[in-house]
Structure 1
Amino acid sequence: MTIQLEKFVQVRGEDFTVNGEKIVFRGFGLGSWMNLEHFMIGLPGTDTMIKQAFAEVYGEDRSTAFFDRFLLEFVGEKDFAFLKKIGVNHLRIPFNYKYFIDDQNPAVYKKEGFVYLDHIIALCEKYEIYAMLDLHSVPGGQNPDWHCDTNSGLPLFWEYSALRDTVIGLWGHIADYYKDQPWIAAYDIVNEPSMVTNAKVFNEFYERVIAEIRKYDEHHIIFIEGNAFTTDFTMLDPVDDPQVAYEFHFYPFVDEPAVLTPEMDRTRRREIFKEAFDKLVSIREKYKRPLWCGELGLVFEKEQIDFQMTIIEDMLDLCEANDVSWALWTYKDAATMGIVYPREDTPWRQLTEEIKLVWNQHKEQEKGEALVDYMAATYFKPISVEERYPLQFRMRTLMQDITVEQILKPHLQKRSWEEMYELPASFHWEQCEQWDELAAVVEKYTK
């Protein structure tokens, strides 16, 4: 088969191009689809814990049927028509390695991962929206947080070469399968590495995974992400591959929560954002490659939506002014960060609103930190903020085990299988509403 290279997105200097013409990516991530995130989907636990709870309550076969329906019905034609209407030209598609790899038999690849990815990529091709494949969860966890499906609170992926070997082989397998698909713009190798301490390991992983991909696929762009949830690139050496680009994520309010308050003067907020963004965008000088802000976004609240749109505008203005492609996090979820979300009267929202009465992510984080402080004060000497930071992730994994047993499973047990099997329909376009305010902001940049 002859590949028509002009159809593929390529790196040319510090730009992305298609058939020689520059393209700036503006779009969304498809978060919490092939990698469930508890606060976005409204169910406590990690991806694996949630699915295990379904299996324990309803049985393995029914759990499989439920998530198959969820994956195939989460977005459809009308979602893509909406994305096209507001000018979106790409989707970042996160997925969990477990759709391809059985931990007990890692040498034999599972087929269902391609079933679900192909479903979305076919829609991307039909609507001419590029796909970025994002490996959001790897064996052992590439960071300590729930969104990489870790059950330890430790980034063990960077400790064991055998785990990295598994992912290197998987990317070769994926590249071989998709090597001729031009509507896949790029492979995003691993989402948000963090707490990486060994620069040699970090660089060798990227070198080896790129080499494995290039055995099969010379054309697709490969995105490299930095340390500290892809905000720190000091460890990473430039890579000698013409189709490598770099990705960072931009959540400046993590370090400066006050920027999310209406009381802060907008000029001051913009100064804080610019200082943080300038540090991230400075990597272009180091690597001389195009940049993609693969995640930025907010938790939206009806009472603050107009104010929150000014925050989104301030972040996107920085991307546009600095010639940086961007993807808002996220397209659809259970009314948290998504531009599209099920209505309050849908069965999914009724379940998650019940759960919200007794659990939410912010409480989980606060309690994790408080428990570390309690442990230190009760049994040891007080500990520093630096010591507390990694420990609270480990504490939260214990808490997630408890919340699944004491909150998620009892809420599932109250609903019959017949009721539960209808829940994924809550994400059908007809059952959803959207933030028109955010759509208008996006169109301001895409049109």
Structure 2
Amino acid sequence: MRTARFVCLCLSLAVGPVQAASGAQAQASGILHAQGRDIVDSGGHVHMLRGMNLGGLFVMEPFMSPMDRSHRLQDSYSVMRVLAARFGADRARALVAVYQDNWIDDADIAQIARSGFNAVRIPVWWGQFLDLANPTPSGWRDDGFAALDRIIAACRAHGVVAIIDMHGVVGGQSGNPDTGEAGQNRFWADDHAQATTAWLWRRIAGHYRGNPAVAGYDLINEPAPPPGTGKDQVWRLYDRLYRAVRSADPDHMVFIEDTFGSWSLDMLPPPGQFGWTNVVYESHVYPWPHDHPGVAQGVAASASALRAARDFGAHAAWNVPGYIGEFNALDARPGAFGMMTRQFDAARLNWTAWTYKASNAGGTMTYWGFIEPNAPIDRPDPTHDDEGAIREHWKKWRTDARFSPNPAFR
């Protein structure tokens, strides 16, 4: 029954919101790598990455994830701690696995491919791999790779490549809920947190070494070091993590973000300064209305995309590929998203939109998800619901006929 419902959704998506990638590309041969300003496969064929973030899968965010109907819990850490306190660590992990298995599955990756996309960016955080009470190598979870392996296998089966994005380092890099644990920004001054994050990257890179379904590793999502932290301090930590990855995996690309300070490529060094090779420089584009007072949102979105394209052009001498790892037009009306992707395509910028799937308030479409609910779907209250109720609520979030394509992504 679920298969029949999902076929209906696929058909509606195919004729609905976007033909996002401008022309189908052949499936990549071998591991992708950077060559000048392009991303190419082992045969030297250029592959422009165009795709979706899998937001909310491993890192829950209250504005887009069905994590807590009471709205008390604001991050993945809080959800997992509450569940562990009530049911024990093993049963808590099993409940979170139910959520993850239903939020994104093989059929979702197949749909992403059918919609013309060839890449996904997968936000992860340290709590997916390490015991919450012991964020050290000795706290490694036996099931650390289980859910991520499932998604990577689906990507390989459907000709999609994955960028593994460290959305939350040990100790936290910004204090925001999207790091997995809100209120933590200790990474910058905590050598233990830095060393454990480097160890974690070695473990991840070693696990996926040689896997052609992995495009590469995004070292730190949207770092927000404390005031007074110099760019050079951020660069040195990037370099530490880059070298941790390279010690375990010499072949996959490393993605390095400019998403701090001015959020422009001026925040990054020329790659030769640190001897970085096979790297991709990454930007995020969000045309927040408060940054564009009095300007129509569609105009602001197009202008923001053009600014990113010009920034990439201004740094052409660095000879690295450019990638818009996250972006959203922040406009529920059709058209603005397409204007942004056309700007990126014209500049030969790779991109993954934020985000593939999002919850909303009672079936009212927002601009966040490529697919969103078209009717209310029950959410759990992890603090009060019994174990069975939590499991059944999260099972209802599997992609089926209750989800529709979002016109905002046209």
Q: Secondary structure at the match of 2:276?
A: coil
8 Å CA contact 2:358–2:369 kept in 1: the answer is: yes
1:178 aligns with 2:208: yes
Runs (4+) of structure 1 exceeding 6 A deviation are none
| Equivalence map 1:165-244=2 (5 Å) | 165-195=195-225, 197-228=229-260, 231-239=263-271, 240-244=275-279
On the 8 A contact 2:287/2:330 being kept in 1, the answer is no
For the pair 1:37 / 2:61, whether they are aligned, the reply is yes
| CA distance 1:67–1:274, shift in 2 (3 Å) | closer
Kindly provide the amino acid, as one letter, of the partner of residue 199 in structure 1: K
The question of 1:55 aligning with 2:25 is answered: no
Q: 1:70 to 1:225 in 2, by over 3 A?
A: same
1:7 aligns with one of 11, 14, 30: 30
Post-superposition offset of 1:258: 4.3
Distance 1:73 1:156, change over 3 A: same
Distance 1:320 1:105, change over 3 A: closer
Q: State the partner residue of 2:23.
A: none
TM-score relative to the length of structure 1: 0.74
Match of 1:97 among 126, 150, 173: 126
1:99 Cα deviation (Å)?
1.9
SS of the residue aligned with 2:400?
helix
| Unaligned 5+ runs, structure 1 | 352-407, 442-447
Q: In 2 relative to 1, CA 416–229 (structure 1 residues): closer, same or farther, beyond 3 Å? A: farther
Q: CA deviation at 1:265?
A: 8.5
Aligned equivalent of 2:99: 70
Identity, % of aligned positions: 24
Contact residue 229 and residue 249 of structure 1 kept, 8 A: no
- Closer/same/farther in 2, CA of residues 242 and 26 from structure 1, 3 Å limit: same
339-348 vs 213-222, which moves further: 339-348
Instruction: Assess, with a 3 A threshold, how the Cα gap between structure 1 residues 269 and 208 changes in structure 2: closer, same or farther.
Output: closer
CA contact (8 A) 2:34 2:40 kept: yes
> What per-residue deviation string (whole Å, max 9, x for no partner) do you get for residues 323-360 of structure 1?
11111111112135112234424323xx6xxxxxxxxx
Aligned residue type for 2:354: W
Matched residue type, 1:10: H
In structure 1, C-alpha distance between the alignment counterparts of 2:357 and 2:267, rounded to whole Å: 34
Distance (Å, rounded) in 1 between the aligned partners of 2:405 and 2:261: 27
Report if the CA contact (8 A) 2:31-2:210 is conserved. no
User: Is 1:202–1:236's contact at 8 Å kept on the other side of the alignment?
Assistant: no
What code does the residue aligned with 2:32 have?
V
What displacement does 1:269 show?
3.5
Is it true that 1:107 corresponds to 2:150 in the alignment? Answer: no
Q: Which residue of 2 aligns with 1:332?
A: 357
How far apart are 1:292 and its partner, in Å? 0.6
Query: How far, CA to CA, are the matches of 1:186 and 1:54 in structure 2?
Result: 32
Q: Provide, for residues 132-167 of structure 1, a one-character-per-residue CA deviation record: whole Å limited to 9, x for no partner.
A: 000110122111322113443x53211222211111
1:290 to 314, 321, 328: 321
Distance 2:305 2:128 in 1: 39
Q: Secondary structure at the match of 2:396?
A: helix
Q: 1:251 aligns with which of 282, 286, 289?
A: 286
Structure 2 partner of 1:87: 116
Task: Report the Cα distance in structure 2 between the residues aligned to 1:134 and 1:54, rounded to whole angstroms.
Answer: 25
Equivalent residue of 2:235, what SS? helix
**SS in structure 1 of the partner of residue 215 of structure 2:** strand
CA distance in 1, matches of 2:92, 2:285: 35
Number of corresponding residues = 364
Q: Which moved further from structure 2: 192-201 or 138-147?
A: 192-201
Q: Which amino acid aligns with 2:215?
A: A
Aligned 8 A contact 2:122 2:162 in 1 = yes
CA distance in 2, matches of 1:216, 1:60: 30
| Matches of 1:140 and 1:204, distance apart in 2 | 17
Q: Distance in 2 between matches of 1:118 and 1:184?
A: 11
Give the Å deviation of 1:314. Answer: 2.3
Rounded to whole Å, the distance in 1 between the matches of 2:262 and 2:88 is 38
Mapped contact 1:193–1:230 kept (Cα < 8 A): no
Range 122-131 or range 101-110, more displaced: 101-110
Correspondence for 1:421: 391
Residues 16 and 254 (structure 1), Cα distance of their counterparts in 2 relative to 1, 3 Å cut: farther
Cα 1:275–1:422 shift into 2, 3 Å: same
Q: Any idea what SS the aligned residue of 1:35 has?
A: coil
**Partner of residue 319 from structure 1, selected from 325, 344, 355:** 344
In the TM superposition, residue 202 of structure 1 has moved relative to its aligned partner by 1.5
For 2:387 and 2:292, how far apart are their aligned partners in 1? 42
Cα RMSD for the two superposed structures: 2.6
Structure 2: stretches of 5+ with no match in the other structure: 1-27, 361-365
